[in-house]
Amino acid sequence: MAADLTTLEKLPVWTGPVRFEKLSGGITNVNYLARDIESRYVVRIGEDIPVHQVMRFNELAASQAGYAAGISPRVVYHSEGILVLDYIESQTLTAEMVCEQSMLERILPLIKSCHREMPKHLRGAMLMFWVFHVIRDYAATLEEGGSQYIALLPELLSIAEDLEAISNPTEIVFGHNDLLPANFLDDGQRLWLIDWDYAGFNSPLFDLGGLASNNALSVQQEIWLLENYFDEPVSDELLHQYQAMKCASLLRETMWSMVSEIHSQIAFDYVAYSQDNLSAFQAAYRLFKQS
């Protein structure tokens, strides 16, 4: 059972009395800003979520590796279902901010550090995040749960099979796998990457495609992203693989929301989120088929 405020007040990490303020925006976890006499912290409350393949041991290990790699806040305390992190005085990015070229030029090194530096600091068992396995598992969960989208599943699974055949990994890195704008923080001096619920080994194209689709990057920005990530001109083959993975990232976000409609207890309009992401996926897939 998820921890309540009474449980949180008794954690051994606080100096003196502590106050909690619920933070808005979380659609996987419940988050609080905690203030004691000396400092501020972010408290993340969440148990394993098997239907989303979220395992808290994996999130903890990724958070600790992210801190060791210098890209994520320090883990101050952890216990079952509870993660306490240093609070970073910062601005949460928006999609409009991510789309600014100067911001992209700051974001790309952060992604490279995630992919290439974090594995040096990981300890213990870690998950792999293969989006096409996730999609197949989501489809089974939706069918078992009597989802309103059951009639769509055969078409979506057929598309996913085609995309998987195209998007063979160029390499395997350690991915964040959830590059929504709200998962980037700007403290005025540097950027931070937070929320490692879906972290795992993956193709780098998933994070690059997710960054583009979650933030509506232009085609020119996508080409810039690929050229500067791989440090070479973009081949037609790589571009095709990337576009397939970008479609897959949109399909995964769509099906994540569909599953959340029937399984999440968080107050959020998942139905509208499903429809928005389904429309975005369908538009991206139409463009992909025309390319």
Q: Does residue 174 share a domain with residue 248?
A: yes
Sorted by sequence, the CB contacts under 8 Å of residue 178 that are 6+ apart come out as: 195, 197, 198, 210
pLDDT for residue 263: 94
Q: Does residue 219 share a domain with residue 134?
A: yes
Q: Does residue 151 share a domain with residue 72?
A: no
Q: Is 96 helix (H, G, I), strand (E, B) or coil?
A: helix
Q: Does residue 208 share a domain with residue 69?
A: no
Q: Does residue 40 share a domain with residue 98?
A: no
Q: Does residue 69 share a domain with residue 11?
A: yes
Sign of CA dihedral 260, 262, 264, 269: positive
CA 175, CA 75: separation in Å to the nearest integer? 19
Q: Exposed (0-12), middle (13-18) or buried (19+): which is 239, by Cβ within 10 Å?
A: middle
Q: In the chain, which residue ranges form alpha helices assigned H by DSSP?
A: 5-9, 56-68, 95-98, 101-116, 131-144, 153-166, 204-215, 219-230, 236-263, 270-290
Domain containing 130 equals 91-290
Q: Does residue 97 share a domain with residue 55?
A: no
Domain closes at, from 35, 63, 86: 86
Domain closes at, from 29, 55, 86: 86
Q: Does residue 268 share a domain with residue 133?
A: yes
The structural domain count of the chain equals 2
Q: Does residue 24 share a domain with residue 120?
A: no
Q: Does residue 95 share a domain with residue 81?
A: no
Q: Are the beta carbons of 82 and 44 closer than 8 angstroms?
A: yes
Q: If you write DSSP's letter for every residue of 188-207 in order, what string do you get?
A: SS-EEE---TT-EEE-HHHH
In degrees, rounded to 5, the angle at the alpha carbon of residue 274 between the alpha carbons of residues 162 and 135 is 35
Q: What is the pTM of this model?
A: 0.93
pLDDT for residue 170: 74
pLDDT for residue 107: 98
pLDDT for residue 2: 62
Q: Does residue 114 share a domain with residue 79?
A: no
Q: Does residue 262 share a domain with residue 121?
A: yes
Q: What is the CATH number of the domain that holds 9?
A: 3.30.200.20
Domain closes at, from 41, 63, 86: 86
Low-confidence ranges of the chain (pLDDT < 70): 1-2
Cα-based distances in Å from 129 to 70, 94, 180, 209, 219: 22, 25, 16, 14, 26
- The pLDDT tens digits for 175-208 are 999 999 999 999 999 999 999 999 999 999 999 9
pLDDT for residue 96: 97
